[in-house]
Amino acid sequence: MKPRKIKEDVYWVGAIDWDRRLFDELIPLPDGTSYNAYLVKGDEKTALIDTVDPTMADVLIDNLKQLGVKNIDYVVANHAEQDHSGALPQVLRQYPDAKVVVTAKCKNLLMNMLLIHQNRIMTVEDGESLSLGGKTLEFIHAPWVHWPETMFAYLREDGILFTCDLFGSHFATSDLYVTDEAAVYEAAKRYYAEIMMPFRKVIERNLEKIKDLQINMVAPSHGPLYDKPEFILEAYRDWIYAPPKNIVVLPYVSMHGSTKKMVEYFVGALVERGLTVKQFNLAKTDIGKLAIALVDAATIVVGSPTVLAGPHPNVVYAVYLANALRPKLKFASIIGSYGWGGRMVEQITGMLSNLKVELLEPVVIKGFPKEESFRALDRLADQILNKHKEQKLIK
């Protein structure tokens, strides 16, 4: 790719990683990703906003060369994580006069994680600004989106808010701006679910902090830019503030078919009662799809067989993630089966401590489901329906 002009003297100089399929050795990237870096040239000073993943440092350096950048005064590091700050060492070698502009917490992280010398780093307070001559960067401390050191940079004259990971999407595209809203919505929601959802309450505060800014454009560090900022702001408001929806998420594993039979019957019973169900076979699913479903769901019902006296390890993995992601869930239950005994229910409920959910009576049966098992599932479906009605999730 080549540098892309955004506004007069403002350029995208990042890298598109079309082929990456896994992040943090954990998160699937079905659409690849990008690492967005931006160059802002003032009359007197030049600033680079964020860098790129260290594997693509040469792409960034080449973009800067193509633009004829001889000197960089400031490198704003909104976030210390390696996919944005990992190319700092190369950039600082290439541009020996450049200072890294960060929050105090970010300074500490960059010195420890990327071994950047403290003499190359200057810290800025919340609300502080930096004049480049005709272009002014204002810094807004925005902690915990999604690390403690994060901040935004706001280019006042052009009304561009550089939000780093907040509002981002893992979405490789040659389009500078969002063109396919449906595709970007799914990618941005996946990103929110996996990265931002645990910090929902803190994001509320950060949204409050930026609400009076004149934002003409949101420029995140992953995925296309938002030249219509309301698209992503509205989506975030829905994901964060709106009550959960009339949805039951049903992640499950079945080893020999008993739990599967229960899941099939139970999904039918829920649908018959007017609930939306999202079913995921944990042996096969993209875990990101499960995370997306958790953004809006009111209820989670976990389906598990019993293996070595506890839940199936894939169920443990999914429940651990659901608990760590801290979605808006209100209710939880467990269905499944065992051969001769075990502590599957206790182990699963013990892993849900972060979720402020009401636990509904589990249906865990011995062996293959029988008539009374199906009646118990009917009763659980009735109970979920009533709870959703009480919460006014059903009109």
Residues in contact with other proteins by the rule CB under 8 A: 104-105, 108, 143-144, 146, 148, 198-199, 201-202, 205, 326, 353-354
> Which is nearer to other proteins, 124 or 178 (by Cβ)?
124
Pairing status of strand 160-164 against strand 151-155: antiparallel
**H-type helices in the chain, by residue range?**
57-66, 82-85, 88-94, 104-113, 181-191, 200-210, 230-241, 258-272, 287-296, 313-325, 344-350, 371-390
Task: Provide, rounded to whole angstroms, the least separation between the CB of residue 302 and other proteins.
Answer: 20
**H-type helices in 67-216, by residue range?**
82-85, 88-94, 104-113, 181-191, 200-210
Task: Provide, rounded to whole angstroms, the least separation between the CB of residue 352 and other proteins.
Answer: 12
> Which is nearer to other proteins, 87 or 142 (by Cβ)?
142
> Which is nearer to other proteins, 132 or 351 (by Cβ)?
351
> Which is nearer to other proteins, 32 or 148 (by Cβ)?
148
> Which is nearer to other proteins, 2 or 205 (by Cβ)?
205
Question: Residue 257 is encoded by which pair of tokens?
Answer: 């078919």
DSSP state of 226: B
Count other Cβ atoms within 10 Å, centred on residue 334: 26
Task: Provide, rounded to whole angstroms, the least separation between the CB of residue 353 and other proteins.
Answer: 7
> Which is nearer to other proteins, 105 or 261 (by Cβ)?
105
Task: Provide, rounded to whole angstroms, the least separation between the CB of residue 156 and other proteins.
Answer: 24
**H-type helices in 101-229, by residue range?**
104-113, 181-191, 200-210
Task: Provide, rounded to whole angstroms, the least separation between the CB of residue 202 and other proteins.
Answer: 6
Task: Provide, rounded to whole angstroms, the least separation between the CB of residue 285 and other proteins.
Answer: 26
Residue 78: closest CA among 169, 160, 162, 194: 162
Which residues make beta-bridge pairs with 365?
Answer: 337
Q: CB under 8 Å to 237, separation ≥6 — which residues?
A: 207
**Helix, strand or coil, per DSSP, at residue 28:** strand
User: CB of 222 within 8 A of CB of 191?
Assistant: yes
d(CA 137, CA 157): 9
Burial-class residue 317 by CB neighbours within 10 Å (0-12, 13-18, 19+): middle
Task: Provide, rounded to whole angstroms, the least separation between the CB of residue 324 and other proteins.
Answer: 9
> Which is nearer to other proteins, 78 or 337 (by Cβ)?
78
> Which is nearer to other proteins, 201 or 256 (by Cβ)?
201
Pairing status of strand 22-23 against strand 217-220: unpaired
User: CB of 199 within 8 A of CB of 150?
Assistant: no
> Which is nearer to other proteins, 56 or 357 (by Cβ)?
357
Task: Provide, rounded to whole angstroms, the least separation between the CB of residue 146 and other proteins.
Answer: 8
SS3 content of the chain, % helix, strand, coil (to 5): 35, 25, 40
Task: Provide, rounded to whole angstroms, the least separation between the CB of residue 112 and other proteins.
Answer: 13
Q: CB under 8 Å to 296, separation ≥6 — which residues?
A: 239, 242, 244, 245, 247, 328
Task: Provide, rounded to whole angstroms, the least separation between the CB of residue 197 and other proteins.
Answer: 11
> Which is nearer to other proteins, 32 or 143 (by Cβ)?
143
